[in-house]
Every structure is written in C-alpha cells, then in structure tokens.
Amino acid sequence: EVIGCVIYTGTDTRMVMNTNKPRYKFGLVDKEINRLTKLLFVASFVLSMLLVILKGVDGLWYRYFVRFLLIFSYMIPISLRVNLDLGKLAYSWFIQQDKNIPGSIVRTSTIPEELGRIGYILTDKTGTLTQNVMVFKRLKLGAVSYTIENKTKISNLLEEVYKKSGIAANKSQESLVTSTSTKRSIGKNTEAMKVTEAIKALALCHNVTPVLNDSAEIMNEFLSTSDTPKTSVTSLNTTTGSDVLELLPVIAISYQASSPDEIAIVDWTEQIGLTLIHRSLKSMTLKLNSTEQLFDYEILQLFPFTPETKRMGIIVRDENTNEIIFYLKGADTVMQNLVQYNDWLQEESANMAREGLRTLVIAKKQLTQEKYQAFEQNITKARLQTINRSRCVREVIETLECDMELLGVTGVEDKLQLDVRQTLESLHNGGIKIWMLTGDKLETATCIAKSSKLIRRNDDIYIIQQVATREECLQELNIFKRKIGACLVITGDALQICLSFYEKDLMESIIESPSVVVCRCSPTQKAIVVDLLKKYRNKKVRVCAIGDGGNDVSMIQSAHVGIGIVGKEGKSFSSLSCTSF
C-alpha cells in the first residue's frame, strides 16, 4: 500500500539544481608549464628534423631522427613537474600547520600557489564577513521603539494586557485567552495592546521548532518515574502543551530553524515572557512566563518563505476564542504594498537598515470562519492542479495578502567576524580589490560594507538602484565612469538589466573600482558575476570567492580559488576552507 511519495529531494532540490558539477581547477603555473612543455617538444622535433636534413635524407634517416629526438628530449623538463607537485604538497602542509589560521584545510593540492596571484576577492556577507549569530536588537511600532534594554517594560505590558483580559493565574489548561469584548474594553490603540499583538505575531509566525538539549537521560528518568504515562524524550513535539509544561523544570528547550533570524526572534520573545514550548505539524503552544499560563493554537495553513515572494505566512486558530488569524512577515520592499496605508514603514525600515540591522515587517489579518472556509476550498483546488500549480497556489494566497494590519518592524543584528576590519584593510593595502555579493537589502549591505572597512571612510560611493530601460542604464554608466575611483553599490535587478544592454561597458568600468557591493543578489547572479570578472579581467590576475552557505556554492565553483567557511555547506565545494574570514 502506497501512503505517499516524496518528491523534489536529493538532486532535485533547488539548492542542488542551482549548483554546477564540480570542475577540476588548474593553476596558472600548471598551464604555463604545459604550454612550455608543448613548445619544447615541438622545438626538439623541429631540431631533430633539421639535423636529419643537414646530414642527408638517404638510407636509414629515420634512425638518425629518433636518435636526435632522444638526445633533445632532455630539453623537456619532466622532473620539473614532479618537483612542482612535491612543492605544492609542502605548501598545503604549511598552510594547514599555520598557527595564525587554525582549522584551515587545503582540499586540493593543485592550486595553493594561486593564493599569491589573487587580484579580486568576491565574498558573501552573512556568515562570512559576519558571524551569522543573530541578536534581536529592536522592535519598531510606529513612533515607539523598543530595544533589548526595554525587556522589563515589555514584560509588564504583556502582563497588563492579560490581566485586564481576565486571565486567571494558574498552571492548568483552562481557557486563558482574551475575549473579543474584553479586547474592545482595553482598546486596540493602546500601547500595551499594540505590543502584545506584535509579540504574539513574532511568537507564532515562523518555522521554528523547540527541541531538547543534551539532558535526554535526565528527561527519560523523569518520564519513567512520573505518574503520567509517557513514552520517551523524543515525544516532546507530540505531547500536549500541559505535558510539556510539566516537564519544563527538568529540561532545557532550545530552538531549531533554517533561518537564524527566526531563532533570534523566538528567543527574544522567550526572554520577554512569551515562550514557544511545543510545536507539531498541526499545533503550537505558547506559555506566558509570569503566570505559566498556556495558549494553544491550531495551525491551519503554513506558507513558507521563498526567495521569489520574500515573505512567509501562517494561519492559526486560537483554541480558546476560536478566532482565525492570518500572520504575515517579510521584506519591507514587499510588505509595504500589502499593508494598510501608513507614513512610517519605509522611513523606519531604511533607518534601521542604515544601522546595519536586518529588518522584517510583521502584519496580520483577522479572518471570519466563512472567509477562511472559502479560502481553504480555493487553495485545495489550486494544489490539485497538474498544470501551473505553483502559480495557481500563489494567486490564491495573494487574495489574502492585501489590506493587512501593520504590527511593527523588527531589527536583528549580525555581528562582524573578529578582526575582519584589519583583514580587509590589509587586503586593500596589498592591491586586492574586494567585492561583496549579498542577498540583503541595499541599506544593510552598504552599512556592513562601511563598518567592515570594505568601503573606506574617504571612498566615494555611487549607487545604481532603479534602472528599467536602456537609456537609464546608459545614463547611470556614463555618470559612474566620470566618478574615477568611486565604489559601486548596485542591486541585483539593476545589475541584470545593465548586463543585458551594456555588459562589456559595465564590466570594464567596475573592474577598476576599488570595491563593489551587489545587494539583493541571487545565487545564480553570484556565479554570473564571477564568470564575467574572469572574462574581462587581466588573464594573469586570479579571482577568489569566499562563502559559507549553499547559496554561495555556484560562486565558489566558478572562481579560480574557492574558499569555504568550515561548518557550512560551502566547504565541500571549495578548494580551501577555514574557520572564519
């Protein structure tokens, strides 16, 4: 009996299909020696033939030809190839034993000497220049801003709302959530209510799963001695919220998710008093830390984040009030067209991005039972389509993604790697040009480039952001050409349009720029930039790509030298790997 079929896995995943097959990389020295060897072989052949002709082409002339060929064969440096390979092995060993770069691994011994010929370094931002350790820094609600220093104030506002909502302080699974009439009495426009709705959205709209730490043995011992029959520690996500609450005193819960931003946000909601303690495919349970009260939610629909939509959504049903709520979060460039009119979202998002914070906009919409049932029927029908299924599903979801109630904007900080400023400064002084290719928004990428000294204090910056036509592209290029020595910041969309019209002019202009930042850049575009740089640069100057994630694999493979950060997906496709930038 066939229960189901798993598709789009393994080699059919987006990440693998986005990468090319690993290619064997030759160093420039190897190519020069091969060329020299071929030249010497031709020279020995010609000399042998010339001497045979001078001696006279009669009798057994071919014996003399072979004899001369063997004599001149010593011109071909066969031993040089062996000595060079031994030297490369020695270089690789010295690199791995260098105490100044501990943890470094040379995965191929054919190109270590290429490190001395590098003229361009193309690097990712998140996890490469930065530590990929996200820390929640700010929650912006209109004119009001809350930082990590305001945790006590936010916790008090949460308690205020739930106390006024008539929630009784006990540890059971009784009805614990606000009624609609009580919400009206509090007033939706009060500060406490706005904060509570935003925190609740952050605690619910994500793909985070609570997991156990290394206390499984203690946990299993507790389960075996508990009066309540339970099976094992692995059943945390299949138990009810009250079961998890009973176990919390003896275990420590951590969070797992594909996005470190989401983990940072959920961890922050726990710190201020609203903890995610249970999640399954169909339900979630939150706990109010101050009263240890539980809030159960049924997950009705989940719309994962995709690079195309740049947002994710979730529809949940409050188990106590039976309210159905659609939560949505995503990039400000997308969300500003989906939320109700406001006069602060775009400005505040730009301000936070200029501080180097990664921003996310959160919004919600209340759904009636009738509206949700109609939506469920439509999306079920769309998911059964055999042609253009993804487009049909997207169109149905977009019917809900309009006139959303804006709740707030979050700011998450990704700290720079240790000594990254000194490293980039040394590379600049060595005449190496550094480019940063990132998927972050323009303001965030520019801020990180400045703070890391990729763009130095006295450097001029020219930004190409909104380009739609050939004329606009030509105008931007002409202006940039006149700004001699300026650093370029360009978006992925603008780069694609400029390359389609003026590929050669653009590349010849930016190759001379001291630093280039490409933001909102897709993995495919990263590889295209590397290939174009290899095409238009000085052929003796080598290109190095550094990255840490699956979206950097194509770039690492395309470069002459690929460096992967150890512990991430990119290392397995790299020529060399190290622990940090």
The catalytic residues are: 124
Integer Cα distance of 471 and 478 in angstroms: 11
- Region of residue 329 (left: phi > 0; alpha: psi -120 to 50; beta: else): beta
CA atoms within 13 A of residue 203's CA, in its CB half-sphere? 25
Q: What one-letter code names the amino acid at 394?
A: R
Q: What one-letter code names the amino acid at 503?
A: E
Integer Cα distance of 103 and 507 in angstroms: 36
Angle, CA 54 vertex, CA 50 and CA 60 arms, to 5°: 90
Backbone φ and ψ of 62, nearest 5°: -70, -25
Strand partners, 314: 302, 327
Instruction: For strands 542-547 and 118-123, give the pairing.
Output: parallel
Q: Cβ of 307: how many Cβ atoms within 10 Å?
A: 11
Integer Cα distance of 136 and 270 in angstroms: 12
Query: If we measure between CA atoms, which residue out of 256, 249, 254, 255 comes closest to residue 219?
Result: 249
Strand partners, 423: none
Kindly tell me the burial class for residue 176, based on how many C-beta atoms sit within 10 Å of its own C-beta (0-12, 13-18, 19 or more): buried
Query: If we measure between CA atoms, which residue out of 556, 554, 473 comes closest to residue 509?
Result: 473
Query: If we measure between CA atoms, which residue out of 285, 308, 306, 304 comes closest to residue 295?
Result: 285
CA distances (Å), origin 467, targets 255, 333, 424, 471, 492: 41, 16, 30, 9, 11
Integer Cα distance of 289 and 102 in angstroms: 43
CA atoms within 13 A of residue 383's CA, in its CB half-sphere? 9
Both tokens of 239, joined, read 């138990």
